[in-house]
Each structure stands twice: as C-alpha cells, then as structure tokens.
Amino acid sequence: MVASRSARERKAAVEAGPLATVKIDLDDQKQFLYKIGCSVCRAKGHRKWSAYRPGGDNGYMAAMDRWIFHLVEKHPGADAPCLAYVDAARQRLHQRREHVVQSGRAPTPFTADEIRAGCPAGRTIRMRVDTEGEAPFLRVSRFVSCDEEGAVLERSRQSLEGVALGVVEADRVTWRDLQAHASFPVEAATIEDETISTAIGDLDCLRYTVRDKETEEVFWFAKGLPGMPIRYVTRAGGEVVATVSVVDNTMQADDPGPFFHGTKAELQPGDVLEPGYASNFGSGTTANFIYLTATLDAATWGAELAAGEAPGRIYRVEPTGPFENDPNLTDKKFPGNPTRSYRTRGPLRVVAEVQGWEPHPAEALQTMRDHLEELKGRGVEAIND
Ligand SMILES: [Zn+2]
C-alpha cells in the first residue's frame, strides 16, 4: 500500500524534527519530489537551505540522509528522531560513493570490489550474439590471473555448437575499468529492478536503459553475478540491431592439480565420493558439494578435522565434473584462494591414498578446533549452496 502524499509528508516531518520543513511535490513525471529545508540556515542568495530528492521511498531516504548530515554538521546540539539512523545513513553514503565513478554519472550496478569477488580466475561466461546481417555466434569471456587490481580477460568466439572460431585475445583489465564500463551519464540512464528468464535460470536484475540520440541500449546486470551484463539489447531508430544473451556461466577454477581430499573414511582407488555424505564442519547438515584442494596442507586439515575417531587419511582424487572456488575459503583472510580449495557437485574419483604426510603440531590443531568451536557457538555455518 502506498501512503498518500500528505501522510508521507507528516511522517517525514516528524522524523526530521522541529528544525526541518518538509514538502512533497510531484515532478513532471508525476513522481514524488521530496524537499527538506532548514528553518534556520540560509543558502546562497538568502534562500532557505534545502535539499530536493526525486523518487518514492528512495527519494525519501535520500532526502532524509541529506538532512541527517545537515543536522550533524550544522546543528550538533539538535535532536530529531532521524538521528537514530545516522550510522545507516553514513553506510549508504559510502555505498553510493563506491558506486559512483565520477560526479554526473549514474551509480554502477557493482563496485570494483564486488566485481573482483564475483570474477575468480577461471570464471567463464558464454554469450550468444545476434547482430543484424551477421550469423549468430558465441562470445566467450574468461578471467585468468586474477589479483587485487585486476585480471587478464580472455575473449574468443565460438560457433553455436561450441567450435572455436579465430584466436583468443587476452587483455589486462582492472576491476575499476570493468566497473567504469557500466558508468553512464545520470541524464541518459534509467535504472530499474527486473527479474528475467535466462538460459541459466530466472535472475533478479538491475535493468539499465541508456539513451543516446537515436540509439537505446538496455543492459541487465544480475544482482547475484557481479561483472558484465547477462543480457543486452541495442536499438537504433526503434529497431533491434543486436541482442546478446548469456548461454552459460561457470565459476570453474583454473587449477591443473594434482588434487587431494582429506577425510577419516577408508577408501579404495576407484571409489567415488558423491555429495550427500555428512559435512565435516558445522552442524553436520548434508553437504551439497564434495571438497577438494590442490594443497597438501589444506587436505591435512580436512583429514584432521573430519568428524569421527578414525585416523585421518588423504587421497589423491580426480574431479569428474566442473569445480569452483570454495566460497568458505576464498577471499576470507587473504584475497583470492591461496589454499587452492575447491568444491564440486561430484563425483570425485579416488586415485590413491597419500602416505607419509605430516600432521599439524598438536597445538596448532587445538587452536583450529577452538576456532571452529567458537564459530559454531556463534551459529556460523559452512556455505553449502
Ligand atoms: Zn540548518
């Protein structure tokens, strides 16, 4: 239910406190326009200090945030109910700044940090490109050599059947560059929420409509997949001239192995591990994934911390399907995935048992157990989806 303009005005006036004057107008598009003014302060030209923000609830928040900063800065002794939200307002301001690359530009769908976290080495996106007067093809983009600042982005073409066409081009890009690709002039861009059906499922998106004279481009950025848009459509003079849509997106990690799996189970070469056997950590809920690592140290922890009293064992294993960075161990204490820890929906084939591995010192093991116990106590569960 949308509250009436006068009810909104009253609510905002109460929140803003006695120093404020609050008015809601309608703009040319019949959208609410929030105006919060200060009954004491004068701006340039002897007019009352005031801030205007368009939009429904967003406009209210934006105007109120601006007012909160005015109160804190100019009237340190003043009291108003809205001051209870000063921390939240600061957080939103920070968020907005991170999303705005340059003044006069609309906020980008993702910050550079969000893109870095969402594009691990090995992430591969295939998009179908339909351009007027050209045979459709797949554009493949793959992230490799990711670090704090950026990555190498490999781009190539495939036929619709997945056959490589031409060469792979590789360019170094920064996360900041990728963020800036989605930075458009405020007056040219309209940003809305939309859920769309795609080849990889229904995705909750931010839709950016960008107009430039005769051309209109619409980009859909999936909120859960920071990085490039998962669909875009270009219109010229009202006619669709190009459509680009996601075909698949894999987070497959870029690691040649060899791979290990630590456990307390006794296994034979040729055995296969499938998701569904109890998780090593947390409350023991059924795992949706099987974990593997390319470091003996991480496998050692797996063997030592697995549930049960049997001695720990480490096996050389081979993934039989795609695997991805383990989100429980990626971008945590250190950026990236230094422990080369992965997960797969399986199965994982046992190649051989690793003999003679070095256990962690008893003291280190106890520290790790205490840490996991503490996480459990705080209700922190392993990411399992
Ligand atoms: Zn004032």
Structure tokens at 279: 């998780």
Q: How far is the CA of 192 from the centre of ligand 1 (A)?
A: 33
Query: What spacing in Å lies between the alpha carbon of 26 and ligand 1's midpoint?
Result: 24
Q: Using 50, 70 and 90 to split pLDDT, how confident is the model at 334?
A: low
CA of 332 to the centre of ligand 1 (A): 43
CB-neighbour burial class of residue 106 (10 A; exposed 0-12, middle 13-18, buried 19+)? buried
C-alpha 30 – ligand 1 centre gap (Å): 29
The CA distance from 147 to 162, in Å, is: 29
- State in Å: Cα 76 to ligand 1 middle: 10
pTM (2 d.p.): 0.56
- CA–CA separation, 16 vs 64, rounded Å? 7
Q: Is 256 helix (H, G, I), strand (E, B) or coil?
A: coil
CA of 52 to the centre of ligand 1 (A): 15
Confidence of residue 55 (pLDDT cuts 50, 70, 90): confident
Output the pLDDT for position 328: 77
Ligand 1 centroid to 70 CA: how many Å? 6
Span from the CA of 291 to the centroid of ligand 1 (angstroms): 58
Distance between Cα 43 and ligand 1 center (Å): 9
Q: Near ion ligand 1, which residues have CB within 5 Å?
A: 38, 40-41, 74
Ligand 1: distance of its center to the CA of 232 in Å?
45
Sheet of strand 215-222, all strands in order from the earlier edge strand to the far edge? 164-174, 150-158, 137-144, 124-131, 239-250, 231-236, 215-222, 201-212, 189-198
Q: Say how many Å lie between the CA of residue 49 and the centre of ligand 1.
A: 7
What are the residue ranges of helices labelled H in the chain?
Answer: 5-16, 57-74, 86-99, 112-118, 175-181, 296-305, 362-377
CATH superfamily for 259-377 is Rifampin ADP-ribosyltransferase domain (3.20.170.40)
d(CA 14, ligand 1 centre) in Å: 16
Q: 280 CA to middle of ligand 1, Å? A: 58
The CATH number of the structural domain formed by 116-250 is 2.40.360.20
107: DSSP letter: P
Instruction: Output 327-334 pairs: Cβ under 8 A, ≥24 positions apart.
Output: 327/383, 328/382, 328/383, 329/298, 330/120, 331/117
CA of 278 to the centre of ligand 1 (A): 60
Share of the chain above pLDDT 70, in %: 91
Domain residues of the chain, as ranges?
Answer: 2-100, 116-250, 259-377
Q: What is the pLDDT of residue 354?
A: 95
Least-confidence region, from 31-35, 53-57, 142-146, 312-316: 53-57
pLDDT tens column, 237-254: 989 999 999 998 887 666
81 CA → ligand 1 middle, Å: 16
Q: What is the pLDDT of residue 46?
A: 78
pLDDT surpasses 50 at 235: yes
Task: Tell me if 116-250 shares its fold with 259-377.
Answer: no
pLDDT band of 157, cuts 50, 70, 90:
very high
Centroid of ligand 1 to alpha carbon of 88 (angstroms): 21
C-alpha 29 to ligand 1 mean position (Å): 30
Of the given ranges (76-85, 199-208, 367-376), which has the lowest mean pLDDT?
367-376
pLDDT for the residue 335 = 65
Statement: residue 293 has pLDDT above 90: yes
Supply the mean pLDDT for the chain: 87
Average pLDDT (44-59) is 80
pLDDT for 344-373, tens place per residue? 877 888 989 999 999 999 999 999 888 888
DSSP at 45: G
State the distance from the centre of ligand 1 to the C-alpha of 60, rounded, in angstroms. 18
Q: How far apart are alpha carbons 360 and 168 in whole angstroms?
A: 44
**Ligand 1 centroid distance, CA of 19 (Å):** 7
pLDDT greater than 90 at residue 47: no
Cα 20 to ligand 1 centre (Å): 8
